[in-house]
Amino acid sequence: MSSVKMKKGDEAYANTLRKALDGLGEVDVDLKEGRVIVQTESPSSEVHDKIEATGRKAVLSGFGGQSAVALINTTGSVVDRTPVQGVVRFTAISAKKPGVLVDVVVDGLEPGLHGFHIHESGDVSLGCASVGDHYNPRQSRHGSPEASRSERQAGDLGNLRADESGRAKIRIVDAELEVAEIIGRAVVITSSADDLGLGANDQSLFRIACGIIARSA
């Protein structure tokens, strides 16, 4: 399912969207809700790129397979009202071994680098302040996502880079994570760059947006 910026009664754009997605599978455009449901076996990135090629921004909020999704800054808490909105999707690479494909599209960020982590709890009763520390089942030191298992925490996903429009869009592969172990936890984005365990950047700990990781059907 994808959320697209549309106006009520925007039938002309709905037709443009249907043409853009032609050949991918069954497409249902809901103008009232600004929602597009695509039944397809094509990669999520292909669906997303075809929608955005029409000139509108889109956020994919669910994709089939062994996957999970976090809608960023939709906690419902008044504590964390910011312009940051987006989605992070986790898809298992294999049913037999660890490894997750992470797709990220987030808008409303200040241009530049922002820390990007998985935290241990999906408790957002106090906004992003109540999601606990980085997910760290091995009790490892904080580090880079490229570091060895003993030199990084499982929740260390490095940095997102936002462009001049405030959008961060990346795709990474994490060989250590498993979808089942992160459901119910939270994704967190910080105000500035993560120091990857190499410095003492307190601002890299300041949480500006978050979202609960939920199973995606």
What pLDDT, on a 0 to 100 scale, did the predictor assign at position 54?
A: 87
pTM confidence score: 0.67
The CATH 2.60.40.200 portion of the chain extends over 65-216
What pLDDT, on a 0 to 100 scale, did the predictor assign at position 159?
A: 94
What pLDDT, on a 0 to 100 scale, did the predictor assign at position 31?
A: 72
Burial letters 158-181, b for 16+ CB under 10 A, else e: bbbbbeeeebbbbeeebebbbbee
The Cα–Cα gap between 41 and 82 comes to: 34
What pLDDT, on a 0 to 100 scale, did the predictor assign at position 60?
A: 66
Backbone Cα Rg of the chain: 18
Query: pLDDT below 50 — which residues of the chain?
Result: 76, 203
Instruction: Specify the 3-state DSSP secondary structure of 180.
Output: helix
| Helix 11-20 vs helix 44-52: crossing angle, to nearest 10 | 140
Q: Measured at the alpha carbon of residue 35, what is the angle toward residues 32 and 40, in degrees to the nearest 5? A: 145
One-letter amino acid at 186 equals A
What pLDDT, on a 0 to 100 scale, did the predictor assign at position 8?
A: 52
What pLDDT, on a 0 to 100 scale, did the predictor assign at position 203?
A: 45
The Cα–Cα gap between 199 and 194 comes to: 9
What pLDDT, on a 0 to 100 scale, did the predictor assign at position 147?
A: 85
Per CATH, the number for 1-60 is: 3.30.70.100
CATH topology of domain 65-216: Immunoglobulin-like (2.60.40)
* Per-residue pLDDT tens over the stretch 142-156: 888 888 888 899 899
Place of tokens 């365990």: 197
The CATH 3.30.70.100 portion of the chain extends over 1-60
What pLDDT, on a 0 to 100 scale, did the predictor assign at position 28?
A: 80
What pLDDT, on a 0 to 100 scale, did the predictor assign at position 181?
A: 93
